[in-house]
């Protein structure tokens, strides 16, 4: 059985916690796309963790954790995260890195930073983790696949020389920076070879056999549907596909084996980075929601940046669930809304004077305004409640209204930051 956990919106929906919970029932947990540009926050008996490269199953001894071929692997950050777990008393996890995954190089990170600085006010709001340059190189066929580190040295030298020649056009003439050297690239590759050697494996063959043996496999997505380069708010998107369907490619699995797609929707909206955000709120209203949201406030797990805040956008969430192919919804951070007398919810958009209930392309989205409906609040703290039926009536009505509008059953409701704070319906 293969289950995917993915986001319906801009990311930051609380996927890490849901993955942590589902990992307890899984034999294998796989990161299948993205890189260190977004993190999953997990709270357990070891403490609070922000995972950037590692799959969220690393806290379970029975789980094999895989970094799939679709991931942009930052080797230093991968090793640093492993060491951080050990320093904090977490038993050494079972982890495998696909030999077909590719490496984020230092020049990817530099080029990302140079370009964001050059664009200035027109920037994409990148985390400057090298993700866009990495994926550009991957599809331009000038990326370094991990398997190449263990191959012919002469080939590696020739490729490094070819890449340095290309990159130095940017370094010298566009960004006016010191040029790359072939020797520095080769030394970095040899360093990565030594660091990664204990973890590299043919994960495709491993997963082929795991599927045949009926293992429980969990696919862990990064960011959300609205950051997908095809179906999201292009061009203010990420550079890898954030959809459950890509799990088949990014992990190397049969697409027809992905049976359950748990799509995570937050009880309000938040986003990091630039791009269209119809239900966004500002000022004191946003500050108050940001302060109460998440665990310790709504700030990026990777960047620490204050997240942009908004009310629950049911137009975007319905679209995101459809794009993901959701079979069920996990509805998170409901507890953050307990301070409100009334809770605004975006139920439609106004586009050029007309009301629409669909999520348009970015060109039209830029002209959309939210159509809000106010639902009654419950005015109390719901953390600690263990059964859905014990929630205040207005809290249940809020969940059920969202479920009806999204059109996908909400099977899980989160009412607190820890893995125990899940209500099942």
40 carries an active-site annotation: yes
Spatial contact of 10 and 269, defined as CB atoms under 8 Å apart:
yes
d(CA 154, CA 406): 55
What count of residues does the chain have?
Answer: 425
State phi, psi for 371 to the nearest 5 degrees.
Answer: -105, 115
State both tokens at 74. Answer: 């930052």
d(CA 369, CA 191): 51
Per the DSSP assignment, residues forming a β-bridge with 413 are 331, 423
Is the pLDDT at 164 greater than 90? The verdict is yes
12 carries an active-site annotation: yes
Of 338, 314, 328, residue with least CA distance to 18: 328
Q: CB within 8 A of 337, min separation 6: which ones?
A: 267, 268, 343, 377, 398
C-alpha distance from residue 373 to each of 156, 160, 348, 381, 397 (Å): 59, 57, 9, 23, 14
How much of the chain exceeds pLDDT 90, in percent? 81
Q: Which of 20, 27, 40, 108 is catalytic?
A: 40
Q: In what order do the strands lie in the sheet with 280-281?
A: 269-271, 308-310, 280-281
pLDDT-derived band at 125 (thresholds 50, 70, 90) equals: low
Q: Which of 12, 20, 112, 421 is catalytic?
A: 12
pLDDT for the residue numbered 302: 60
Is the pLDDT at 229 greater than 90? The verdict is yes
Q: To which residue do tokens 């494996």 refer?
A: 201
Strand extents, DSSP E, 104-216: 200-201
Q: Which helix (DSSP H) or strand (DSSP E) does residue 206 occupy?
A: helix 203-212
C-alpha distance from residue 315 to each of 94, 228, 330, 365, 408 (Å): 40, 17, 17, 11, 13
- Which position has the higher pLDDT, 121 or 311? 311
Average pLDDT for 159-182? 94
d(CA 138, CA 355): 42
Is the pLDDT at 126 greater than 70? The verdict is no
């Amino acid at each position: 059985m293969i289950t995917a956990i993915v986001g319906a919106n801009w990311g930051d929906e609380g996927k890490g916690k849901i993955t942590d919970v589902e990992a307890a029932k899984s034999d294998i947990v796989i990161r299948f796309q993205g890189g260190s540009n977004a993190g999953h926050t997990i709270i357990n008996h070891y403490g609070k963790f922000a995972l950037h490269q590692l799959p969220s199953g690393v806290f379970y001894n029975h789980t094999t954790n895989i970094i799939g071929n679709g991931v942009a692997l930052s080797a230093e950050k991968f090793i640093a995260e492993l060491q951080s777990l050990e320093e904090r008393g977490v038993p050494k996890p079972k982890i495998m890195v696909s030999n077909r995954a590719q490496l984020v190089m230092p020049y990817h990170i530099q080029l990302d930073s140079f370009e964001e600085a050059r664009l200035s006010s027109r920037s994409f709001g990148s985390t400057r983790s090298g993700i866009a340059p990495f994926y550009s190189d991957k599809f331009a066929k000038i990326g370094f696949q991990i398997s190449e580190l263990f191959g012919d040295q002469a080939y590696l030298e020739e490729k490094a020389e070819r890449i340095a020649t290309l990159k130095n056009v940017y370094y010298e003439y566009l960004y006016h920076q010191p040029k790359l050297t072939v020797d520095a690239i080769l030394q970095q590759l040899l360093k990565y070879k030594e660091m990664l050697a204990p973890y590299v494996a043919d994960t495709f063959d491993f997963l082929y056999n795991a599927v045949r043996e009926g293992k429980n496999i969990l696919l862990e997505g990064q960011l959300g549907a609205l950051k997908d380069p095809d179906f999201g708010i292009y061009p203010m998107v990420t550079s890898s596909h954030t959809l459950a369907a890509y799990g088949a490619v990014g992990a190397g699995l049969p697409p027809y084996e992905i049976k359950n797609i748990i799509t995570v929707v937050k009880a309000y909206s938040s986003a990091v980075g630039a791009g269209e955000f119809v239900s966004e709120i500002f000022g004191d209203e946003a500050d108050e929601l940001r302060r109460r949201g998440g665990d310790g406030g709504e700030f990026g797990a990777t960047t620490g940046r204050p997240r942009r805040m908004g009310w629950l956008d049911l137009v975007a969430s319905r679209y995101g669930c459809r794009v993901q192919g959701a079979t069920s919804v996990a509805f998170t951070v409901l507890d953050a809304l307990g301070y409100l007398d009334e809770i605004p919810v975006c139920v439609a958009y106004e586009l050029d004077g007309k009301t629409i209930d669909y999520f348009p392309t970015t060109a039209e989205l830029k002209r959309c305004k939210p159509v809000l409906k106010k639902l009654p609040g419950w005015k109390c703290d719901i953390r600690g409640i263990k059964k859905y039926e014990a929630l205040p009536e207005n809290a249940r009505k809020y969940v059920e209204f969202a479920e009806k509008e999204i059109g996908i059953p909400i099977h899980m409701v989160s009412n607190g930051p820890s893995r125990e704070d899940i209500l099942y319906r």
